[in-house]
Chains A and B, each alone.
Chain A
Amino acid sequence: DAGVTQSPTHLIKTRGQQVTLRCSPKSGHDTVSWYQQALGQGPQFIFQYYEEEERQRGNFPDRFSGHQFPNYSSELNVNALLLGDSALYLCASSLVARHGSPLHFGNGTRLTVT
């Protein structure tokens, strides 16, 4: 039973560029959440997708956008990259968007912006 898979594992981009990160949820899960984890800090919630719609959003600018596909996989897009966007981006899946649902995390995509 495959867990949450993310691609790519590492990525280096230049300021101003755009990036797309991908996530396949754990089998049987229907909800995908994205988190940003800066070095030495806890993950910060970006947004959550359920039934192909953005259901909740954290305190991130519109440069951060996403999408969920009919097979529940998801993408995170970041436009006009800034140096401060360098972080580990984590995807987490769960079953049904309700409070307290355990999250299953992927191993993340390490994004470096130079």
Chain B
Amino acid sequence: TQLLEQSPQFLSIQEGENLTVYCNSSSVFSSLQWYRQEPGEGPVLLVTVVTGGEVKKLKRLTFQFGDARKDSSLHITAAQPGDTGLYLCAGALGTASKLTFGTGTRLQVTL
């Protein structure tokens, strides 16, 4: 059983569209991170959220941590082809430093 479920699994949209990716769990996380991974490369950290209800913005990307710290969302405004990649959420449980990764959302943005 996957601890962190992401939806949708796949998303193909056109440049300029908006999208939201969800990351859900029944577990409470002390912190949650979002990564983007491109083919042939390792995941690259986008953001870390630690407080329930926290919202962080990174240019066209908006990240939200649920009030109960069990879920998170990533919203992209006016998607660009450069946003194409595998988006992964990852949570830390309690004081443990290991991260539990979600199932991933593969995003493709076309012209």
How many contacts A-B (CB < 8 Å)?
A: 72
Contact with B along A9-53 (1 / 0, CB 8 A): 000000000000000000000010101000011111100100000
Tell me which residues across on chain B come within 8 A of A104, comparing CB atoms. Answer: 45
Contact indicator A56/B96 (Cβ below 8 Å): yes
Interface on chain A toward B: helix, strand, loop, or mixed SS?
loop
Q: Beyond A42-B6, A92-B42: 14 further Cβ-contacts under 8 Å?
A: A35-B101, A40-B104, A42-B101, A42-B102, A43-B43, A43-B88, A48-B97, A97-B97, A99-B92, A100-B97, A102-B33, A103-B43, A103-B45, A108-B41
User: Which residues of B come within 8 Å of A, CB atoms?
Assistant: 4, 6, 30-31, 33, 35, 40-45, 48, 50, 88, 90, 92-104
Known pairs A105-B42, A105-B44; A42 contacts B97 (CB<8 A):
no
CA distance A42 to B3 in the complex (A): 11
